[in-house]
Structure 1
Amino acid sequence: MSSILTNPGAMTALQTLKSVNSNLNDTQNMISTGKRVSNAKDNAAVWAISKNMESDVAGFKKISESLSLGLATIDVARKGAETVTELLTEVKEKVVAAQEENVDRAKIQTDIEALRDQVAAVVNASQFNGQYMLSHTSDAADSGSINVLASIDRDSSGTVTSTDINVSKEDLGQSAAVAGTVSVDAGTAATVNVGDKATVATFQEDTAGGLSAGNTYQFTTGGAIGLTADVAYVAREGDELGDVTAGLVIKLNKQATEDGLNITFSQGATAGTIEMTNDTDANISVVASDFQQAALDGTQADGTIGGRLEELSNIDVTTQDGADAALAVIDGLIDIAIDSAASFGSSQMRIETQTDFITGLTDALSSGIGTLIDADMEETSARLQALQVQQQLSVQALSIANSAPQSLLSLFR
């Protein structure tokens, strides 16, 4: 049945044309934006995932900036520690030269003082944006290290947490320590035979775990070892037992040399222990009162923390005894500087590795986001041409359908 009021063919052609125009509009949007999912309406699930990933990419870019800042800070500290090592090596050359009696020790001492001042200048200058890594005498909690933001981690539940790289400060200052009170006898009586090495001290951590900044650990002059002055080390924030014994060993060897004792102190294999080598002509008795440590209940008066290169400021080679004492400590000071530079080098390598990983991860995430939402331009181009042809055909079909009622006029002629 034909009707001049209803044209099913035109209606069908019109619906087809609308559908083609809608698809053509979507395709043109893909071409203009470059995305097949540009908003939540296009694909809610994919859009939500892409937005989460985009937020992570933005976060990782900020992490890259943090890593760059941390890398620059540690690089300055490492170069400073390496320079201090070179300067201390020059000091050692001067100290060795001073062992010869037929030299002008006063002039050598002047050179040493100049090198010592240069060490202090390097330590003071080794800072980046106000962050000093070669100076640390604070007893404040967590003041002995810095945290470099290294990553953000998203778990299966969507919770995001941050991860830091902790870098310890390495003090290379020369300030003098002032011992606090000690009230715990940590000694054990022992006899060190001629030519033997034996443990003569064992220090402990406090009851809270770790060492408390300001606690004093010392050898006293009360026993038969023969030291004429107390030798003390004041713990700094972040110290471990190895730091305590390393600091004491340097001072002990210097004091033993000044006192003319033919004995040598060294760190034991067990953390917190000090060993003594007896090269005298007689056995040496060590009694419990020879060494002490800070009270474990924390009630003792704290000492003043000194620089780890404190003994550098005490080197005086104008006399033979002074030259001998300087020779006894200089290697220990060089070891401190070497260990500091090595520690910074390890931290710098880790930060560089993390930087490379974050860069690669950011690229991978960006690529993944593109896979989810970017339009395939080759496919879109082909689709555009096909839809343009369909649009033209739909217009033609609609024109034909609209002209169909005119054939009814022939029935009334």
Structure 2
Amino acid sequence: MASINTNAAANQARQALAAAQKELATSRTRIATGKAIGSAKDNGAIHSIATMMTAERSGWTVANDSLARGQSLIATASAGLDAVSDLLRKAREKAVAYRDTSLSTQAKAAIRADIEALLRQIDRTALRTEFDGKKPLADTLTPTTVTQTTTTYTTVTSPYTPPAMSNLVGYTSGSGSRTFAVNGGAAAGRIDLDIDTYSALDVVEVWQGAQRVAATGQPYVSGGAAVGPGAPVTYQNVLSFDYDPANGQSLEFRFNENFGGSGWQINNVVLTPTDPLPTPTTTTTTTSVLASVATNYEFVRSSIGDLEGVAARPMTLNALKLDAIDWNEPAQLFSSLDAALGQAVEAATYYGERASSFDRLIEQNGRLADALETGVGNLVDADLGRESAKLQAGQIKESVATKALAIANAAPQWILSLFKG
């Protein structure tokens, strides 16, 4: 039906044009931003997940920034230690000459002046070794006591232990992630895995077939029943479980399977038929030490704010016990310089270990941040090839809809021709 009040064809063409323009705007936005989901209105659930992942990735980046400052502090301390060690070596050389009993008074005075000048330079070097207000070689020492609690386990030997398990004891210095697969043998009994994870955190689990039967941080469960995931632990631990070969003789000792981990060793693995569970022996030792007042400098190591410490290693004359020398006892001077040099070497070793640890943490954090970035990209990034094709299709739709609208708007003109001449 022809009408001058309603143009249905024009309405349809206008709707088609609006839809085409909307598709074009969406494709242009995705191509311009590179994102298929740029806000919550695009897809609320995915945008929320991506936002949380982005925040976590930022956390790892911030942690690496903090660790980088720690690296700079360590590098500064190491450079200062190199200078202190060099000065101590020179002072020690002169201390050897100072012990020569044939020297004249004037010669000994000259050597003493040289040694004193070197000692003053050592003190200045320690005091001037500074990064971001921190002086890792110049903290003040105060007497204090340190109480250390050590837990050890005594595990037995057993003739029932299969050779495949006994051979594991030879692996005394593993690190990171590693899995040992062994045959548990045909005899049932209880298996005790005695491990030492030292002072750094590690996670260890024992699997029998598809079932986790023991794990660090989980209590012993009788009957070889399943236990929960392992928790990070330090120092010596024993994992015990009941072994039944009917459930499969294949056993896996998994070290840090889903955890960064550090150094560890296997102390013992035994299969026993009736012996009681290994019980811990706790020893507490209190010693008197000279401790640094100022410190353990701490840096963020993870996306949740865990901290990694770098302790001060004072190298002032007071800390090295070189501030009160009896120049009438050349032998004492020599032994004091030897002890100070040993202290400097120990400090250099410590900072070297800390530097390696920070390097590993930064590398690991970087991998985690990259994985999160890739994951966010998989969720929200646009497929530019697909969007380009949709853009071209949208342009064609827009052109066709525009022409259709023009035709539809012109169609009622034929009604006027009915009233002509």
Q: TM-score range by the shorter chain?
A: 0.5 to 0.7
TM-score, length of structure 1 as denominator length:
0.58
Q: Percent identity between the aligned chains? A: 31
Kept in 1: contact 2:140–2:294 (CA 8 A): no
Match of 2:186 in 1: none
Kept in 1: contact 2:140–2:292 (CA 8 A): no
Kept in 2: contact 1:109–1:316 (CA 8 A): no
Is 1:143 aligned to 2:294, yes or no? yes
Counterpart Cα distance in 1 of 2:363 and 2:411: 70
Match of 1:166 in 2: 309
Once the two structures are superposed, the pairs formed by residues 158-237 of structure 1 within 5 Å of their partners are 161-175=304-318
Kept in 1: contact 2:141–2:293 (CA 8 A): no
1:169 CA displacement: 0.9
Counterpart Cα distance in 2 of 1:30 and 1:346: 48
Counterpart Cα distance in 2 of 1:35 and 1:388: 20
Which amino acid in 1 is paired with 2:306? Answer: T
Match of 2:70 in 1: 70
Q: Which deviates further from its counterpart, 100-109 or 163-172?
A: 100-109
1:53 CA displacement: 2.8
Q: For each residue in 1:22-72, what CA deviation from the matched residue of structure 2 results, as whole angstroms up to 9, or x when unmatched?
A: 211211222333322121111112222222233334434433332232222
1:338 CA displacement: 0.5
Match of 2:323 in 1: 313
Counterpart Cα distance in 2 of 1:127 and 1:396: 75
1:405 CA displacement: 5.7
Kept in 1: contact 2:292–2:312 (CA 8 A): no
Match of 1:356 in 2: 363
Kept in 1: contact 2:138–2:315 (CA 8 A): yes
Kept in 2: contact 1:84–1:122 (CA 8 A): yes
Unaligned runs of 5+ in 2: 143-290
Is 1:334 aligned to 2:326, yes or no? no
Which amino acid in 2 is paired with 1:313? Answer: D
Unaligned runs of 5+ in 1: 153-160, 176-306
Partner-residue secondary structure (3-state), 1:101 = coil
Counterpart Cα distance in 1 of 2:121 and 2:111: 15
Point out the structure with the larger strand share: 2
- Structure ID, larger Rg: 1
Match of 2:88 in 1: 88
Partner-residue secondary structure (3-state), 1:127 = coil
1:339 CA displacement: 0.4
Counterpart Cα distance in 2 of 1:373 and 1:20: 23
Kept in 2: contact 1:10–1:402 (CA 8 A): yes
Q: Which deviates further from its counterpart, 116-125 or 354-363?
A: 354-363
Counterpart Cα distance in 1 of 2:79 and 2:364: 24
1:138 CA displacement: 5.3
Aligned length: 268
Once the two structures are superposed, the pairs formed by residues 247-266 of structure 1 within 5 Å of their partners are none
Match of 1:119 in 2: 122
Match of 2:375 in 1: 368
Which amino acid in 2 is paired with 1:41? Answer: K
Which amino acid in 2 is paired with 1:150? Answer: R
Counterpart Cα distance in 2 of 1:142 and 1:44: 52
Partner-residue secondary structure (3-state), 1:14 = helix
1:316 CA displacement: 4.3
Partner-residue secondary structure (3-state), 1:165 = strand
Once the two structures are superposed, the pairs formed by residues 394-413 of structure 1 within 5 Å of their partners are 394-402=401-409
1:350 CA displacement: 1.9
Kept in 2: contact 1:315–1:326 (CA 8 A): yes
Tell which has more relative contact order, 1 or 2 (C-alpha 8 A, sep 6+): 2
Q: For each residue in 1:129-166, what CA deviation from the matched residue of structure 2 results, as whole angstroms up to 9, or x when unmatched?
A: 221111232559973211012221xxxxxxxx311111
Match of 1:301 in 2: none
- RMSD between superposed Cα atoms in Å: 2.9
Counterpart Cα distance in 2 of 1:45 and 1:342: 50
Counterpart Cα distance in 2 of 1:377 and 1:339: 57
Change (3 A) 1:141 1:106: closer
Counterpart Cα distance in 2 of 1:384 and 1:396: 18
